[in-house]
Amino acid sequence: SDPSSTFVDRVHRADRIVTELRLALIHDYAPSLGDNLESLYLFVEGRLAQAAVQRGPEPVREAKLILERLQGAWDQVGGASQ
């Protein structure tokens, strides 16, 4: 199998996941938080689209960094509630 097409397939899969996260946002409870998360998800989607076009890892690294930071924030929220 072509490594380039495998890379693009994985990038598209990641993009679908991020898109679902963005579409699941409910802005009613915390509009500013929802708007900020939506902006971050849109940025990540843009970087993943760029990665698919360029077939290069740098935009994926940028997207991953944002998502890792978001995960860290969620982990802190989860730990604070225990």
Q: How far apart are CA 82 and CA 77, in angstroms?
A: 9
pLDDT at 82: 58
Q: How far apart are CA 36 and CA 6, in angstroms?
A: 31
pLDDT in tens, the chain (82 residues): 788 899 999 999 999 999 999 999 999 999 999 999 999 999 999 999 999 999 999 999 999 999 999 999 989 988 776 5
